[in-house]
Amino acid sequence: MEIIETGFAGLYVIRPTVYSDQRGYFFESYNQDTYLKAGIQFIPVQDNESKSSKGVIRGLHYQLRPHDQAKLIRVVSGKIFDVALDLRRDKPTYGKWFGVELDSESKHQLFIPTGFAHGFSVLSDIAVIQYKVDNVYNKLAERGIAYNDPELDIDWRTEDCVPVISEKDQKNPPFRKAENNF
C-alpha cells in the first residue's frame, strides 16, 4: 500500500496493492496496522455506501465536534471526482480544497481526517461509493457548505451534464457563513 501526501496535513491518497490474475483481483481496502505504522490514527466504526447517477453532486458535508468524522473513501463501481475542503482554522490550507478522481479500476482511495467537509461528483453513468468513518452519524451535528460557493470555485467536472443536487444540499450556506468549530 502506498500512502501519498496531498499538501494538506493528514489528507492522503491511498494506493492499495492490487493482486490480479486470470481469476480477477484481490486487495486490502483497509488494514489498521498499516495505517497505524504510517502514523494515521483511524479506527472505523461505521461503513456507508451510496449509489448515484452521472452528474450527481453530493456535499459538501461534515459533522461538528465532538461528532466529527475521519473518512476513507473508495469507489466500488464507476468514477467520481472527490473533494475535501479544509475547515481547520489553524492550518495554512484552511478554506482550500483538494480534489482527486477515484474509480473502481485503479482502486485508489482518499483518506480525509477530521476537520474537513467532503463531497463528490459522479463522472460515470453510475457510481457506488463506500466509505468508512471513525465516528457514528449524528443528525444534530450534521452541517453542509454550498457546493457552488463562488469563493471556493470548485470545478466539479460536470460540464457534459446538468448537475443533480438534493434539495437539502441546495440550501447549504456559503463557506464563510457555515457553522464551524474546528
Catalytic annotation, residues: 61, 131
Contact between 84 and 37 under an 8 Å Cβ cutoff? The reply is no
Residue 120, number of CB atoms within 10 A of its CB:
28
The H or E element containing residue 59 is: strand 56-63
- Helix, strand, coil tally for the chain in percent (to 5): 10, 40, 50
| CA-only gyration radius of the chain, Å | 16
Question: Which residues lie across from 163 on neighbouring strands?
Answer: none
Residue 142, number of CB atoms within 10 A of its CB:
13
Contact between 126 and 54 under an 8 Å Cβ cutoff? The reply is yes
Q: Are strands 56-63 and 164-165 parallel, antiparallel or unpaired?
A: parallel
The H or E element containing residue 32 is: helix 32-37
